[in-house]
Structure 1
């Protein structure tokens, strides 16, 4: 500081210097609160809300959007401004206290005094306010932040570049420029929502299924070949109608020689109309509608769009050799999200017996079982169902009454049909159980 300026300050009355210093400290404290609250408000505001505010024409929304388009630059602006203000507060407080204390005492008092004041009034309280009033406060501080960016432009540019260089050298990245909400974050929020009572268990299960929808393949939702009800293209109309009504299906696959040569689909309405016609045909061959043939690895979201575009309700799933593996209907795909849609004759695929016990069909997928129990069964390429899991673990056919223990969970095969496992009881361990990761079989 020039000698004449120092002399002028020394010549000012102590009380006047104290008042001026306090005023400066208050202004700096307000600026500290401004930068701290701005950081919380700007980075807590979700992008979809910013887009909505811009569409609504909210005042300041375009400035918010412009600032958030360069989040790293925005963060550097806030940090540079906040640090400059806090350092200035400490310096001014030290000078002010030297009017009444020794230099050492002044430094000590300024350090701890300014720290306490900044934590309370420059950090904690402003950030709490910003959390409670994120949107209105972000709109309020947007333009002052933009002016701060212009005012601090040289420092902002320098520290922006330096930060990126340090990130490259240390192998880090600028996470602030990536999305703040990931799929895993949303899954955790869904679980938190259930824990807090905001959503119920059924809603949580449906939301989780939505996230799995794009990862689900046709093989996981198809009706397997063994369970397909189909008719030959030479089947008489009366017999085909009878097969439809007995099976409870409104449409059936039609094959030429066997299920590996499915030629299309026939619908019950067409059959009844043809049978009541004045000149009815003798078989279903004249009423077959085209269908689609898809690989078992096709994702159901793509399959659903294709079925909707082609206006088909049932498709044939084939393996790499062209062998029919099963069929998929629009109902099967809808059930991926909403859960099992049961007919009057069907039983619940997952039946909750008590807090520790559930009974499931052998055809229930591992994902569905994991939704029903607290211990996650592994998912592998070799199997998709709980029956497949049991076969994979035992390596042989099993008989009713056999038990498999995995990670403390006891699986009891209740019923079988020839080589198929029809029903399995799953009993979870009591809270005191210590089994972990081991698997054994008993008869």
Structure 2
């Protein structure tokens, strides 16, 4: 009976060490940091143990191997005679002792596999953080108790790892790919709502998108000419209700400054003729290069405390204008109120009407296209069509690429205003002139 109780105790202790090993190894660093902030003291200990796990794993292996040896010795003593007595009732041949030993060995091994290995490890995998913070204190104490043996085996292990060129410590670096994988898992399980999933995805793309994807392009900029009379100024303000207007001398590349529409309103309220003068024109214009990413642009706005910026290219020519609202809309998406026409309109399950200035990443998200070729060569859907055609497209020109057809259906001068994107069965890439 004492031997059987000894086996039960060994199984329990082995299960504790096996559960601790899996739980501490599988505990997620981000989850542990959250638990630490919430006041779970064991979480900090687990993080420290994960940073330098060598001594802990050495101790666990010493304990598990010692328990396995003791379990074999006690099991042979406790079960072999009992199994022999029952087996003798049906078999009394020359192999009785050997068969009895094999059966008792299989019973002990099965008990250890089931109750000291599989079950505790499954429990630890299901809730690794909860188990880890409960056992870490005991594991640290045992590691300290076996410190001489632990130091010896851990030192030998580190030496072998260095000789083989492997690192001796784990580096926990959370990459963008890991964050995206966690988001996908959260979205599939339902813990992450669709709007939250879209918002986080857009934020992660801020480093990939450049200013041209969010700005108002040059041809769409409404500006005031320094020579405009009162009637022309009032008409432009009525047609384009903006807070600020650029003031130019003939065209955008001769930019003088900008004027706040409040100043124009003050002139009207005073009964004066609206006119542009140095008193109401702000000369300090905030410029940003078009090569900036949206993340860099947000930081620039934060530092300057400006509401809008003029976007210029490498030749100092104005290519667009961008506001804080434009940048916010670029990653808030459908969560902010959008006034105007949608850039992507779905006609049916297999086709979409797309504005030529739509960022390619937005279209790919809508149509479910992941492996886009040569994404660094263009930014908009129109740019993709031009790049694939190797020329300016004409109406009805189209390309086939990876099961999608991109057809220009509305051309304004040299500008691609609208495209029809359709999903097709033929995935062969070709250009039709």
Q: Do they superpose with TM above 0.5?
A: yes
TM-score by length of 1: 0.83
- Matched position secondary structure for 1:347: coil
**1:259 and 2:241 matched:** no
Match of 2:383 in 1: 388
| 1:350 CA drift (Å) | 1.1
Residue number among 116, 137, 148 corresponding to 2:142 in the alignment: 148
Residue number in structure 2 paired with 1:10 = none
**Which is worse superposed, 70-79 or 314-323?**
70-79
Q: Within 1, Cα distance between the matches of 2:97 and 2:262? A: 98
Aligned to 1:210: 203
1:154-212 CA deviation, whole Å, 9 max, x = no partner? 33333433444444444444674424x53222212322333334445444322211211
1:442 matched to 2:432? The reply is: yes
Equivalent-residue separation in structure 1 for 2:112 and 2:166 (angstroms): 30
2:233–2:274: 8 Å Cα contact kept in structure 1? no
Confirm or deny that 1:25 pairs with 2:13: no
Q: Displacement, 1:144?
A: 0.6
* Structure 2 residue matching 1:368: 3-state secondary structure: helix
SS of aligned partner of 1:149: helix
Match of residue 346, structure 2, among 352, 358, 373: 352
Tell me, yes or no, if the aligned pair for 1:205 and 1:371 is still in contact at 8 Å: no
Residue equivalent to 1:12: none
CA distance in 2, matches of 1:134, 1:354: 46
Q: Which deviations, in whole Å up to 9, do the C-alpha atoms of 1:279-338 show, x marking residues without a partner?
A: 677216432343322222223223213213322111122222222222221122112211
| Number of residue-to-residue matches in the alignment | 418
Match of 2:410 among 403, 408, 415: 415
Note the residue ranges of structure 2 that are not aligned, 5 or more in a row: 85-95
Question: 71-80 vs 184-193, which deviates more?
Answer: 71-80
Partners of 1:396 and 1:424 in 2: how far apart?
16
* 8 Å contact from structure 1 (residues 265, 288) kept in 2: yes
Give me the TM-score of the superposition, normalised by structure 2: 0.85
- Judging changes above 3 Å, is the alpha-carbon distance between structure 1 residues 260 and 173 closer, same or farther for their aligned structure 2 residues? farther
Deviates more, 1:23-32 or 1:263-272: 263-272
Match of 1:245 in 2: 238
1:196 matches 2:186: no
Aligned pairs (5 A) from 1:174-323: 176-179=170-173, 181-236=174-229, 239-256=232-249, 258-277=251-270, 282-283=275-276, 285-289=278-282, 290-323=284-317
Query: CA–CA distance in 1 between the matches of 2:223 and 2:62?
Result: 72
Secondary structure of residue in 2 paired with 1:353 = strand
Using the alignment, how far apart are the partners of 2:18 and 2:52 within structure 1? 18
Supply the distance in 2 between the matched residues of 1:112 and 1:221 (Cα, whole angstroms): 69
Q: Once the 2 structures are TM-superposed, how far is the Cα of residue 116 of structure 1 from its aligned partner? A: 2.4
Q: Secondary structure at the match of 2:373?
A: coil
What is the CA distance between 1:65 and its match in structure 2? 4.2
Does the 8 A contact of 1:76 with 1:159 survive in 2?
yes
User: C-alpha separation between the residues in 2 aligned to 1:82 and 1:65?
Assistant: 23
CA deviation after TM superposition for structure 1 residue 388, in Å = 0.6
Contact 1:72–1:176 (Cα < 8 Å) also in 2:
no
Work out whether 1:329 is the aligned partner of 2:323.
yes
CA deviations over 1:240-287 (Å, ceiling 9, x no partner): 343233134332233345323434333322321243246677216432
Alignment RMSD (CA, Å) = 3.0
Are residues 208 and 76 of structure 1, via their aligned partners in 2, closer, same or farther at CA, if it must alter by over 3 Å? farther
Q: 1:215–1:398: structure 2 CA closer, same or farther, 3 Å change rule?
A: closer
Taking structure 1 as reference, are residues 108 and 212 closer, same or farther at Cα in structure 2, changes over 3 Å only?
A: farther
Q: Deviations over 1:339-398 (max 9, x none)?
A: 266654x21101122222122111111111110112333343331011111101111122
* Equivalent residues of 1:35, 1:78 under 8 A apart: yes
Question: Structure 2 matches for 1:81-120, cutoff 5 A?
Answer: 81-99=63-81, 104-105=98-99, 108-109=102-103, 112-120=106-114
What is aligned with 1:15? none
Q: Report the counterpart of residue 419 of structure 2 in structure 1.
A: 424
Q: SS of the residue aligned with 1:286?
A: coil
The 3-state SS of whatever aligns with 2:311 is strand
- State the structure with bigger RCO (CA 8 A, min sep 6), 1 or 2: 2
Instruction: State the partner residue of 1:64.
Output: 46
Q: State the shift of 1:56 in Å.
A: 4.3
* Structure 2 counterpart of 1:3: none
Secondary structure of the structure 2 residue equivalent to 1:384 = coil
Per the alignment, residue 16 of structure 1 pairs with none
